[in-house]
Structure formats: C-alpha cells, structure tokens
C-alpha cells in the first residue's frame, strides 16, 4: 500500500496523529529474560555502529544515556555510510555485529531486516500497551513488517526541493525562479557571471534519486508509487517522461559544470556554503549547516523553495532519517533496546534534533532547543512544503531496484543511456528482484 504521510503541522505542533499498537509479531522470538531487563537496572556493555551522528554528538548521547543507565558501558564505531554498510554486512553474516545499529528506511532496512530483533515486547515492557501511540504512525511503520516492529524511527526529513541563496541571486540581479523556464533563464544569467546555478552531487545515487522522485511524482505519482511497490512498471509512460525531464535538466545547464562527477559532501556543499552557487540540491537535513557551517552561511539570506517544475513547482518526498535496531545476535538486548529507545524518542532524540535541526517522529510536539536565527525562515518554508507538497515516502523499498535506479539516473546524466534505456534497466532490475 502506498504510504502517504499526513503531517499537517510538523515542526510547530509536531506529528499529531497517533496509532495503535504494532502487534507482537515473533520473527524468531524475543528473549523473555532480555525483555525483563528493560524494567530492571541495565548493566553490561553494548556497542553502537552507524554512519551517523558525528562522534561529538554521539558522545553527548552517551553522556546523557549514562545518567539514566550508569551501569551500562556504550562503545561505538562510526564510519562513512558505504564503509559502514560493508562492515555491517560482513559482521552480521558472520553471526556477530554491534548490539545496536542504524539503517535507512526502504532498501537498507529490507537488506538487513533478517538480523533485527523484534521489539514489540520490549517496547510494551518499557512503555505499556499504548507505547506505539507515542509515535506518528507513518514514522513508526517504516520499521515494521507484518505487524512486527523491527526498529524505531529516528528523525524525519524531506527532499526534492532547492536551497536558494537569495543574497547571491540579488547581487547577480536574478529573481527566484517560479517556473522551469525561469530556472533555465536564471541558470544562464548566473553562469554568465561565473556563478554556479544548482550545486548537485550528481555522482551520489541517493541524491539524484531524490530529484527523479520529485519529477516523477509531479508527472505521475500513481505510476511512481506503483513501480516502487512492485505493482507497476518503471517503463510506464509517466516514468519514462520523468527520465526525459531528468535528462533535459543537464541539457539545459541548470546544474554546475561537472555535476555528474561531484559529491554532495563536500563538492556541492562547499560551492553553496561558500556563496559560489545560487542553489543547492539537498534535503531538509541540510539545516545542520546552521550548526556546522554557521560561520559560512550566517550572513546570507537563505531559504528553501520548491523545485521549479510543472505548473507550480514539484512535490517533495519524505521519510524517517534512520531506523535504530537491536541485533538479533546481541547478548545484552535489554540494554540495547534502552539505547534504541533513548535515541528514538528519549532525551537522546532531542540531542539529535538539536544537532540536525530536523523534525520529530513522535506524536508529541518537539522543536530544537535553540534554533539559530538564520535557520528560522528556511525551516518554516520546509514545514509549509511538508503541509502542501508531500507526495509520499522517499526511499525505494527494493535494494536491487534502488541500486539500478541510481545507476540509471547517473547514466542518463552522463549521456551514456537514453531515458527509454534507463527505464528498461530499472524494470529489468525490478523483475529480477
């Protein structure tokens, strides 16, 4: 079933909808002794591995967690996501791995879900029968399979829009584009003055996928989500048209020169934060630049705007930032669950929000403890887009299809595949999966 997020007042009134319990599905069975640990003082050592957050932020999480669980020692290993994913797969296949780890929703969640401990019994022991009502139902569902909760959501973000440096545009005498023709004209005017138009990390599959999804959701959202869920085909006319629109973006020069070979971090990020690009293709998690790069961006008037496409701008897609899970092979599942819950909806989630300035996954209204003044306007604009433009989730469910889609989009951008060929490659991957 297609997931349509309904987050009417996210960021000001929080995720208001609540859901019932997620069932106690037993995908391998929960350890009764470990569940009992949730209500008893936790002890022992647990290990956390992920690509996020930074070590400095996680140290703050550990310090806060230790105040509530003084007899638990938490060790950690953080690595770039590609290295982390390879290491995690190797460890889990060997029957080991960290006690607590993080996955992205969709493809990565499905890739590793066989190694995840079902958490419903732990959650009920810790929070009672109504524990699931603490979450927005759409957010919680991203870690659930067949009524079993295999992971707890962490943070929420959206993608498919543009960051715009209004200061740079004003200095160049260029208006914020409202239509696609406006965007092409703006790109030409900016390039003539030596300013990059949209800074894009074109070699990052996740990044190009976000913008293809925005285009496809504008052209034919039903066909897009049918293909994502396996009930439709990637060769549907609307999705081929979206590949054509993706190709046209490069033909029309709306991205910086060399975008196909650029990384989001830090090639495109540096262009934008240093005022060398007027726009940046990235998601709402880029709000963390006001925590990490305030010295660069604090003097600019920066906002978030819909991608200029279609009649009034493209839709956006959204998803939880991560799903924190307990390793089925862990020997200290009770303490591991406590850390997962602390990160998801405990005080640790506030530490993460204060770092990333993202949005809550809980039913309770939450805001960053201190929002830098320059971040207020773009965050408010993102909230408005969530209210008005959210098409559905952003993570492709199938690992095989996700990989094929990213590769196909890079090939189209590089001119080595036509839109028809790209759509066919993704459909072939879907059929093989």
Query: Do 137 and 172 sit in the same domain of this protein?
Result: no
Query: Do 75 and 151 sit in the same domain of this protein?
Result: yes
Domain count, the chain: 2
> Residue 412: which domain range?
159-318+377-432
Domain end residue (candidates: 345, 373, 401): 373
Q: Residue 48: pLDDT above 80? A: yes
Domain end residue (candidates: 373, 394, 412): 373
- 81 vs 49, 57, 193, 253, CA distance in Å? 11, 17, 36, 30
Residue 10 domain-assigned (yes or no): no
- For the stretch 360-413, pLDDT in tens is 999 988 899 989 999 999 999 999 999 999 999 999 999 999 999 999 999 999
Residue 26 domain-assigned (yes or no): no
Query: Do 37 and 116 sit in the same domain of this protein?
Result: yes
- For the stretch 311-370, pLDDT in tens is 899 999 999 999 999 999 999 999 999 999 999 999 999 999 999 999 999 998 889 998
Q: Describe the chain by its helix, strand, coil percentages, rounded to 5.
A: 50, 15, 35
Query: Do 180 and 256 sit in the same domain of this protein?
Result: yes
Query: Do 137 and 170 sit in the same domain of this protein?
Result: no
Query: Do 146 and 234 sit in the same domain of this protein?
Result: no
Query: Do 72 and 87 sit in the same domain of this protein?
Result: yes
- CATH of residue 108's domain is 3.40.190.10
Over residues 105-111, the mean pLDDT reads 94
Query: Do 175 and 238 sit in the same domain of this protein?
Result: yes
Nearest to 347 by CA among 140, 65, 124, 135: 65
- For the stretch 57-70, pLDDT in tens is 999 999 999 999 99
Query: Do 192 and 220 sit in the same domain of this protein?
Result: yes
């Amino acid at each position: 079933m297609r997931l349509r997020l309904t987050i009417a007042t996210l960021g000001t009134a929080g995720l208001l909808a609540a859901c019932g319990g997620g069932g106690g599905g037993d995908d391998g069975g929960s350890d009764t002794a470990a569940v009992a640990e949730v209500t008893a003082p936790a002890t022992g050592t647990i290990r956390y591995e992920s690509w996020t957050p930074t070590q400095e932020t996680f140290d703050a999480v550990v310090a806060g967690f230790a105040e509530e669980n003084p007899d638990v020692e938490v060790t950690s290993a953080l690595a770039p996501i590609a290295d982390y994913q390879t290491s995690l797969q190797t460890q889990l296949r060997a029957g080991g791995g960290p006690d607590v780890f993080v996955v992205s929703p969709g493809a990565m969640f499905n890739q590793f879900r066989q190694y995840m401990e079902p958490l419903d019994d732990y959650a009920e022991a810790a929070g009672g029968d109504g524990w699931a009502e603490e979450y927005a139902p759409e957010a919680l569902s991203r870690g659930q399979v067949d009524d079993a909760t295999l992971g707890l959501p962490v943070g929420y973000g959206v993608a498919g829009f543009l960051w715009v440096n209004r200061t740079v545009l004003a200095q160049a005498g260029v208006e914020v584009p409202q239509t696609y023709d406006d965007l092409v004209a703006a790109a030409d005017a900016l390039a003539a003055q030596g300013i990059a138009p949209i800074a894009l990390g074109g070699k990052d599959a996740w990044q190009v996928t976000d913008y293809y999804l925005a285009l496809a959701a504008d052209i034919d959202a039903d066909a897009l989500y049918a293909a994502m869920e396996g009930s439709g085909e990637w060769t549907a006319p609307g999705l081929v048209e979206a590949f054509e629109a993706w190709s046209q973006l490069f033909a029309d020069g709306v991205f910086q020169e060399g975008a196909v070979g650029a990384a989001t971090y830090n090639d495109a990020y540096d262009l934008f934060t240093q005022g060398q690009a007027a726009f940046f293709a990235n998601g709402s998690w880029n709000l963390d630049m006001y925590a990490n790069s305030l010295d660069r961006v604090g003097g600019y008037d920066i906002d978030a705007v819909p991608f200029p496409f279609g009649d009034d701008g493209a839709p956006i897609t959204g998803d939880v930032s991560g799903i924190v899970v307990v390793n089925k092979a862990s020997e200290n599942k009770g303490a591991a669950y406590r850390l997962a819950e602390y990160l998801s909806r405990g005080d640790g989630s506030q530490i993460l929000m204060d770092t990333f300035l993202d949005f809550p996954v809980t039913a309770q209204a939450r805001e960053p403890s201190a929002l830098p003044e320059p971040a207020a306007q773009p965050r408010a604009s993102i909230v408005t887009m969530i209210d008005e433009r959210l098409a559905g989730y952003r993570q492709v469910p199938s690992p095989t299809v996700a990989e094929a889609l990213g590769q196909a989009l890079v090939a189209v951008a590089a001119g080595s595949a036509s839109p028809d060929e790209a759509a066919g490659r993704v459909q072939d991957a879907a059929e093989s999966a």
